[in-house]
Amino acid sequence: MHRQDKMFTFLLICTLTSLLTLGHASLPLVINTWPFKNAAAAAWSALQSGGSVLDAVERGCARCEMEQCDGSVGYGGSPDESGETTLDALIMNGDTMEVGAVADLRRIKNAIGVARAVMEHTEHTLLVGESASVFAENMGFIAEDLTTNKSVNIFSEWLKGSCQPNYRKNVSPEPSKSCGPYRPKATWKQSKRARHANIHAHDTIGMIALDRDGHAAAGTSTNGLTHKVPGRVGDSPIVGAGAYVDSLAGGAAATGDGDVMMRFLPSYLAVELMRAGVDPSAACKSAISRIKRHYSEFFGAIICANTTGHYGAACNKVPGLDKFHFMVANSETNAPVLKSVDCF
């Protein structure tokens, strides 16, 4: 069977099986990754009170930032190798295809707000590092310390444990046994260290909002990977990877091992599949399957919603993740409802 025929067969099977679990079409719609109920409620409230889809996404993600959802969103979580917490966020307008994003943001708690400021007050798409923080301060955002007692303790315990786990390879001293500073090995063999599938190290909030008039928006917010190399940027602020939306097709948002997932632009792929008529559940499954072909044990999930209000989700089955939970609010539920999908 030709490769194209295999892909068509796979999508057909996904479409037929997902019809049994496909989310009912109902607008407006808010859907977000993980059981972050308060985030979904904030976004739904924004829509119900006359706010735009961009308002909904911003308020939903901001709620998670303030509540430090699972320690993986907002201040005081996921310290890097130097003990610092930095933030990444993205927001996208599905009508205009404008995007605002920040990465490696320091001192500013409201990362999603800064991302929207990038979109609305510059011609750029992505600002990073110290310069992004200075931009935020100039835009009126308050500079605050993102460190908390919890993040200090996480960092201290990591140091006591010989800096395990970390994300170095082919360096000296041996990174699986020692802390840095690290230097490249004079000679080394290509090695593939086991990746760390910690369910609480990747819980980015990704959110999609659609209203009755056909407007759509998507966004993400995260404090990244715990013990990351300083300066590391994952998939969350990368358009097409962390999230993507087009009001003519739908939206998608991903969560998981961003270093792997960003190489495949799963959110973009899912939206393009929905544009071609594939239902959201099948589009999600196809995006996950594309990654699985190369990284069978990667940790990740994706949510999808099309312009009619149908929605779906998919996840890769690995130890610690056999079912993926997400939140949905629409005109049928009129409140956030916890949904789940079995991983495959």
Binding-site members for substrate are 232-235, 255-258
Options 15, 85, 204, 307, the catalytic residue: 204
Q: How many CB atoms lie within 10 A of CB 167?
A: 16
Contacts by residues 315-318 (CB-CB < 8 Å, ≥ 24 positions apart)? 315/288, 315/341, 315/343, 315/344, 316/256, 316/288, 316/291, 316/292, 316/343, 316/344, 317/342, 317/343, 317/344, 318/197, 318/343
What's the distance, Cα to Cα, between the start and end of the chain in Å? 23
The helix or strand, by DSSP H or E, that contains position 59, with its residue range, turns out to be: helix 53-67
Q: Of 219, 202, 160, 172, which Cα lies nearest the Cα of 31? A: 219
Q: CA separation (Å) from 169 to 173, 174, 180, 261?
A: 10, 8, 12, 19
Helix (H, G, I), strand (E, B) or coil at 54: helix
Is 222 considered catalytic here? no
Cβ contacts of 96 within 8 Å, gap of 6 or more = none
Contact 250, 277 (CB under 8 A): no
Give the total residue count for the chain: 344
CA distance 81 to 137: 25
Closest of 324, 338, 154, 191 to residue 256, by C-alpha: 324
Q: Got the DSSP string for 231-271? A: T---STTSBTTTEEEETTTEEEEEEE-HHHHTTS-HHHHHH
15: tokens are 């479409």
Name the binding residues. Answer: 232-235, 255-258
Other beta carbons within 10 Å of 164: 14
Residues paired with residue 255 on neighbouring β-strands, in sequence order: 301
Active site residues: 204
